[in-house]
Every structure is written in C-alpha cells, then in structure tokens.
Amino acid sequence: MPETSVSWTRRGDVALVVIDNPPLNALGPETSRALVAAVARSEADPLVVATVVTGAHDTFVAGADIRQLGGPSTPVGERATDRIDLSDKPVVAAIDGFAIGGGLEIALACHFRIATARAELGLSESLIGVIPGGGGTQRLPRLVGVDRALEIVQSGRRIAAPEAQALGIVDRLVDDPAALEETAFAEARRLAAAGDLRRIRDLPVPGDAATRAETFAAARRRADATKAGNRKALHAAVEAVEAACALPFAAGMARESEIFASLVGSPEAKALRYAFFAEREARKVPGMPKLDPAPRFAAGAVIGAGTMGSGIAMSMAEVGMGVKLVETDMDAARRGLSRIDATYAASVARGSLSADEKARRLARIEPVADYAALSACDVVVEAVFEDAALKRAIFDRLAQVMKPGALLLSNTSTIPLDLFVGGNSRAADVAGAHFFSPANVMKLVEVVDGPQTAPATLARAFAFARQLGKVAVVAGSCDGFVANRSRAPFQTEYQLMVEEGAAPEQVDRVMMEFGYPIGPFMVGDIAGLDIGYAVRKLNLAKDPDFRTLPIADRLVEMGRKGQKTGAGWYRYEPGSRKPVSDPVVAQVIEDVCRERGIARRAIPDAEVLRRPLFAAVNEACRILEEGMAVRPGDVDVMWLHGFGFPRQQGGLMHWADGIGAAAIAGQIDMWRDALGARWQACDLLRELARTGNPFSSIESRWRAKP
C-alpha cells in the first residue's frame, strides 16, 4: 500500500485532516482517495462534530500533480470535492501559503474558508491549457458571480488572501499564521453548533441572463485576444461557466468534467504542460549551489544608458532597487534618464502606469558619471557598445571600485566573457546577463557562465534575474551564446526565402498561423531595418565574401527603415502601426532578383515554416552537443521568453519532437543538395535520427564546475 499523505486525528470533538505531500502538497489520485476516507471517518465517528482540513509545510495545496493529469480520473460524484461538499458534518478549510487549482477547489468544496493574510489563492488551470476540473467552474460563479469567476478562471492569476476575502472566496482572515488552526477549530465548532453547512452548490448563480450574455461575450473576446497559447482553454472556461448558469449543479459538474477531458489530452495542453515543466527545470543548473538565504539586491548600477541600459535600469527601478546610471559624462547620463522619463510618460498616457508610480521609479534612478558612486552597489550590469576592448576597460575599472561580494554582470549579446574578463582579478564575480529588447518588457535573461565564473556567482545572477521578475536560463560562453546562436539560422532562412520566391506577407502569415503574435518582417519594421543594415556593411567590410541581404539593403537605401520612417517591409499610414502591403516592396524584390539572376518559385507554406525552424533545431543540437546548453528544454524556454515563440507549440525542441529527428535530418540532407553547404545535419541530430530517440532524451553534456 502506498503511504497515505493525509493524516486524520481527533482533537476533542473536531477532526484535523492534514494533507502532507512535500513540498507543496500537490494532489494526486492517492491524496484524493485518502481525503475521501478522512471525511468518511469524521462522519462515522460519533465524537466528531466537524472537520478542519489543512496542509503541512505552511501551505494548503498548490494544485493537482500535473504529471498525473490525463491519467484515469475518478468519476464525478466520488471525488474528494464531492465527498467533502456532501459531508453531513461541517468541514472548514484552513489555508496558509497556496490554495491554487485543485487546492482551491478542495477549499471551495468545504463549508467555510479561513486563510492567513499571506495566503494566495487562484485557479491556474487555464495556464496549462485546461479548465478547473474539480468543480471550480461550477462553485466559483455561485460564490462571486459570473463576471469575476470568469476573470479569475481565464487569467489564472493568484489572488492575495485579503482580496479573496473582499470577493467572498475567503470567509475569515487571520493575521497570525500561528492562530490559523485554533481559529479554524473555533469556527468548525460554531458551524456544528448552528447546524450550518453553507454548501456553495446550493447557492444560485447571481445575475440575470441579459447581463450574463454580455459577460460571456466579453470573456470570448478575451479568449480570442490571448497571446498565451491557451485560447481553447479560455473558450472552454466560458462554456463551463455557462453550464453553471444553465444546468442544475450535478449536471454542470458532469459538463465541466467532459470539457476538462476534451482538453487535457490535446496537443496544446500537452505543449503548455511541457513549457511549464521546462521553466521549472531551467532553474536547476548542475553544480549551481542553492543560496540560503536567497540574496536580495538593493543598490544597483547600470553602465551605458542606451537602448538596453535604460531598459535594464527600468526593470531594476520597477522592483524598488536604487540604480546608479553611468554614462561617459553627466550630460549623457541625464539624457539616458530623460529617455526613461519619456518611456514612462508614454505608459502613463496609455494608462498602464500611474503618475505617482512613475515619479517613484524615476526617483530611484540617479544619473552619475563617476565610478566612485558605485562603491556601495550590490550589483552592476554593463550595457555599453558591443566592443570587447571597451568592455575590458570597464570591467578593469569595476574590479577596482565594486565592493567585495558585489555581482558583476555584462549584457553582451555575443562576446564570450573571457575575451574581456580573462585576467581580471574579479573574473570569478562576473557572469553574463543577456537581456532581450525591450529589456523592461521581455522576460528572458540568458545567464552566461564564463570559464571563470564562480558557481556562487551564477546562483547570484539567477537570484538577481528572479528578483527582477525575469526568467533566467543558463548558457555556456560561446559566440552568440544559446538564444541568439540558435536563432541566427532561422533569421537567415526566412530572409533568403524572400529572394527565392516567398513574399514577406506570406512568411509573416505562416508564422502567425503557427502562433507567433506577429511575423518576423513586421518585427523587423518595429526594430528598425537600419541596425541589421549597418551590421551587414561592417561584416562586408571585413569579409568580401560575406553573404549580404540585397533586398533588405535596397529598402534601407531607399529610406525605408521600418515604422519610424513610415515604411519598411510594409508601409504605415501616418499615426498608424498597422502594416499595409506595399507594391513598391514587391517591385524591389522582383528588381533585385532580376538584376542578380535569381530564379523565383512559389514556396509552399510548409517549407516557409519548416526551413527556418529546422535550421534552428539543427543549430540547437550543435549547441547541446558542445555542452553549451544544459538541456533541450532550456532552449525552449529561451525561445518562449526571448523570441515570443508560440507557447501552444511548447518550444522549438518540443515542436521538433512532434516531427521527429529522422524526418528533420532527411529534409536537411535534401536542402543541402538543393540549397547549399550551409545545410549540414550535426552529429547529434544524425544520432537521434538513427536511434529514433526524441530530442527530449538528449543527455546533458554541460560541464559543471567543480
């Protein structure tokens, strides 16, 4: 018999049921069965008048065990939630920590909910592509109304206990966690004495059909607009809440269960679950120590107040850190601050930031020109031009002024760390922290482990990124690291296909149908086409054989630099950001191809999608082969959070697993013959193709430092 993770003890006339499944008391079928048995035991014990259900480890239940989702499910009517709800003696939920997903559903099945003020509640199922399947969509609308219930189910957000109390989800708050159990016992006795069972199932859903119709329509619009890859789940949530309104409770529960079952095995839900686990795994780096307590960074500095430096400074100010913003001189530093001011002002104008919060954030950023001002800082992020000699000079300076124990980070996007900190006395304190543009928005921070980076430095860099609310993923210190390096061939291919016959509109449409919120040429117009142009000219000056992009070059030379000039790959009406197809671009493409004798052909949509992505998969395999990334999932997390890869596809490598290494390697061989030597399947891809093993099975070649 597996050991039960639910204990039952009688204390006087109240039974205490403790769910204990460390670390977060995730619910599996076993826990559910044990809860059913615990309720039955309370009912059968004549000395017991009521039951308190709580969780061990300072938390209630953080959700169902996602690994067991999709397995055999207990029939409606026999689940823990059904059993608690129908108990003839009151059951009180005593909540500390998290009551999320299945955890909140257990609490909603109870007859009274007490929470500590620090507790957090929520129904997060939609984030992994399903709906609450334990009555959440049927009970919550009865408690808080259709509008709020849908907002909670669709957003999947965490609700702090005081808000949950204001909404009526929590009946009573206790400030002191130590008083939780005792208060729950007192409430349990009170309910028992009053014979008060307060079952949510017996409540009517508030509101009338007319107002609900508007609420459902709004919720469907939210579902259509989602960029989180969970559109089906958001629509399903509406359907389930409609059932709560239209059907008696038991029939609504059966409907919820059917809808849940229709989602849980879908490719989207599998991809979203995969992404969820990949994100959790990415926090684990072989050899990286766990720092206890986790470091907190209060005083920070950023060197270079350009595009990236200002965004990084904003990210730091946003979480309350003080920031010294260092430039070449005071004027430049002040200009940096004005740029930040202008960005914040735009947010205030849009209504996404209050004027007060803007003032608070700005007050945290201090322009400086003297490195002496950095001596008290806990962390510094260098974001000057991408120039190894300049970066070396700056890190030499930082080594002198930064206090012992300070964390030294570089935002370089391509340069291996040893090229500018090799020989630096503080090299052990230096890691890469590669933010993505715009740095105050994009969640990814690629943490680069240099040859001399100390394991504790890596851990501190992770802690810093997390403090900023970012997603940190480790990368080895090679040219371009992992994210940009795996994406470079993707970029080459979609550009070359336009020479061969695809239209930018076709490429953008195919990528958007795949799930990208916006196509790569549209992104180019936002970022500005002149940046890539300048880089290509530099490369061409260094290497006359450098393969330039004549169409993109021609557009820039015509003054079409993207949205900022009203035209790029598309044209833009004055004041509009909506890309409009432009016959001029089609003409440029035709002209350039004719001049260069490039034969154009119709390229099928499948090739438009697969060529850039297969090229990236092959490069990612090379990166894994070299041990520059820990695992395929890390590549996926980088693509999700650095490049807006569609979450419903899981990630680059998860998507590739849906196709299989053999098919990919075979196609790459054909493209090598048709398109040239840049197509070479790497050894690891060939190995997978030969063995039939999935990408997810790739074993780590990451070399942990001793």
Among 303, 459, 589, 638, binds ligand NAD (CB under 6 A): 303
Catalytic residue, candidates 125, 181, 187, 268: 125
Among 73, 74, 266, 307, binds ligand NAD (CB under 6 A): 307
Q: How far is the CB of 569 from ligand NAD (least distance, A)?
A: 18
Q: How far is the CB of 491 from ligand NAD (least distance, A)?
A: 13
Q: How far is the CB of 253 from ligand NAD (least distance, A)?
A: 50
Is 352 a binding residue for ligand NAD by CB under 6 A? The answer is no
Compare residues 223 and 394 and give the one whose CB is closer to ligand NAD: 394
Is 385 a binding residue for ligand NAD by CB under 6 A? The answer is yes
Q: Could you give the 3-state DSSP secondary structure of residue 116?
A: strand
Compare residues 307 and 680 and give the one whose CB is closer to ligand NAD: 307
| Residue tagged 């000039």 (tokens) | 565
Among 167, 247, 332, 376, binds ligand NAD (CB under 6 A): 332
Q: What is the CA radius of gyration of the chain?
A: 28
> Do residues 32 and 79 make contact, with C-beta atoms less than 8 angstroms apart?
yes
| Residue tagged 């890390």 (tokens) | 634
Is 373 a binding residue for ligand NAD by CB under 6 A? The answer is no
* Longest Cα separation, the chain: 93
Catalytic residue, candidates 3, 43, 78, 105: 105
Only segment of 76-84, 252-260, 409-417, 603-611 that touches ligand NAD (CB under 6 A): 409-417
| Residues facing residue 265 across a β-bridge | none
Only segment of 246-254, 326-334, 346-354, 454-462 that touches ligand NAD (CB under 6 A): 326-334
471-476, strands of its sheet edge to edge: 365-368, 322-326, 299-303, 379-382, 407-410, 430-435, 444-449, 471-476
Which tokens belong to 37?
């048995």
> Do residues 369 and 333 make contact, with C-beta atoms less than 8 angstroms apart?
yes
Is 309 a binding residue for ligand NAD by CB under 6 A? The answer is yes
Residue 125 catalytic? yes
User: Could you say which residues in the range 600-659 bind ligand NAD, by CB under 6 A?
Assistant: none
Is 340 a binding residue for ligand NAD by CB under 6 A? The answer is no
Number of residues counted as binding ligand NAD (CB under 6 A): 23
Compare residues 95 and 316 and give the one whose CB is closer to ligand NAD: 316
Query: In this structure, how many other beta carbons lie within 10 angstroms of the beta carbon of residue 561?
Result: 18
Compare residues 117 and 390 and give the one whose CB is closer to ligand NAD: 390
Is 421 a binding residue for ligand NAD by CB under 6 A? The answer is no
506-527: b or e for each residue (b if 16 or more CB lie within 10 Å)? Answer: bbbebbeebbbeebbbbbbbeb
> Do residues 302 and 340 make contact, with C-beta atoms less than 8 angstroms apart?
no
Q: Which among 438, 440, 430, 432 is positioned nearest to 316, based on CA atoms?
A: 440
Q: How far is the CB of 309 from ligand NAD (least distance, A)?
A: 6
> Do residues 192 and 90 make contact, with C-beta atoms less than 8 angstroms apart?
yes
The interface mask with ligand NAD, positions 428-467, x = CB under 6 A, is: ------xx-x------------------------------
CA distance 167 to 170: 8
Compare residues 268 and 327 and give the one whose CB is closer to ligand NAD: 327
Compare residues 432 and 632 and give the one whose CB is closer to ligand NAD: 432
Residues 6+ apart with CB under 8 A from 608: 494, 497, 502, 506, 507, 510
User: Is residue 23 reached through a cis peptide bond, with omega within 30 degrees of 0 on the bond before it?
Assistant: yes
Compare residues 379 and 603 and give the one whose CB is closer to ligand NAD: 379
Contact residues toward ligand NAD (CB under 6 A) are: 303-309, 326-328, 332, 383-386, 390, 394, 411-413, 434-435, 437
Q: Which residues are catalytic?
A: 105, 125
